[in-house]
Amino acid sequence: MRLDKLLADRGYGTRKEIKKLLQKNSAIINGVPTKDGSAKVVVDDRVEFLGDVISCESMIYYLFHKPAGCVCANEDALHPTIFHYIPNPRNQLFSVGRLDIDTEGLLLITNDGVLAHNLLSPRHHVDKVYYARLDHAITEADIQAFQAGLDIGDDTNTMPADLSPANEAGDEIYVTIKEGRYHQVKRMFEARGNAVCYLKRMSMGPFVLDDTLPAGSYRPLTPEEMELLSDYTNQSEES
């Protein structure tokens, strides 16, 4: 593959933009600087550009229905990992964000670091929707508190979150957050004197958990889902 195509595929700009970037900032291929966009790279090459190490692997995108009981890591001495369910040759794949060991639901699995960065960056405020079963029913005051932002013990309150009942009793809910703080959903309910008994992520940005995909299963993204990727792989840090 040509160097300029690799960089374009990874979201660094158009071919024309990359040509200009290369004139100002050399890429480094296997330790050798180059400004030549037509330089050829292969899978085993080490490519560095603008301080990033660029994978030359073909881009892989899976939608995975994470079951409870596994962790979002390549290796773990105590628990099975998500890659117990997904082949991961050469440890090239990773999850876009993490879910707790007892949390189920949607994970994107990829080797595309640009996509992962843009979906997870706080600047982009990507919606993440969760379904939860709670110890007891929510109140209107809870809904308003979530919308206002909660003190969960961090330096700043959470961003506004949308909370709504999923059943008549009010002890099953949907919550939409725009961040990904450590144990965030559980800590938000703890701040309101409630507890999460079960948690499942239903969507992340435009990607929605497939109802036909059993827990522990994965599939490649559909052509329609692949089209959605460009909204995230082409975002700049200023967007």
Fold of 61-122+207-233: Alpha-Beta Plaits (3.30.70)
Of residues 85, 88, 84, 80, the one with CA closest to residue 60: 88
Fold of 128-204: Alpha-Beta Plaits (3.30.70)
Which has the higher per-residue pLDDT, 69 or 52? 69
Q: In sequence order, what DSSP letters do the residues of 57-117 get, joined into one string?
A: SPP-EEEEEEPTT-BSSS--SSS-BGGGTS--GGG--EESS---TT-EEEEEEES-HHHHH
Domain 61-122+207-233 identical in fold to domain 128-204? yes
**68 contacts 101 by C-beta, under 8 angstroms:** yes
Residue 130's pLDDT band (cuts 50, 70, 90): very high
pLDDT, tens digit, 9 for 90 and up, residues 58-107:
788 999 999 999 999 989 999 999 999 999 877 888 999 999 999 999 99
pTM for this predicted structure: 0.78
Active site residues: 100
Residue 234 has pLDDT above 80, yes or no: no
Q: If you average pLDDT over residues 18-38, what whole number do you get?
A: 93
> What are the boundaries of each domain within the chain?
3-54, 61-122+207-233, 128-204
In a 10 Å sphere around its CB, with 0-12 CB exposed, 13-18 middle and 19+ buried, how is residue 81 labelled?
middle
Structure confidence at residue 233 (pLDDT): 61
Residue 158 DSSP symbol: P
pLDDT, tens digit, 9 for 90 and up, residues 169-227:
999 999 999 998 999 999 999 999 999 999 999 999 999 999 899 999 999 999 899 88
CA dihedral of residues 234, 110, 38, 31 (deg, nearest 10): 120
Under DSSP, is residue 144 helix (H, G, I), strand (E, B) or coil?
Answer: helix
Residue 238 has pLDDT above 60, yes or no: no
- Total residues found in the chain within this entry: 239
Residue type, 20: K
Q: How far apart are CA 230 and CA 14, in angstroms?
A: 12
Q: Give the list of residues 6+ apart from residue 118 with CB closer than 8 angstroms, or none.
A: 11, 124, 232, 233, 235
Task: Return the CATH class of domain 3-54.
Answer: alpha beta
Mean pLDDT of the chain: 91
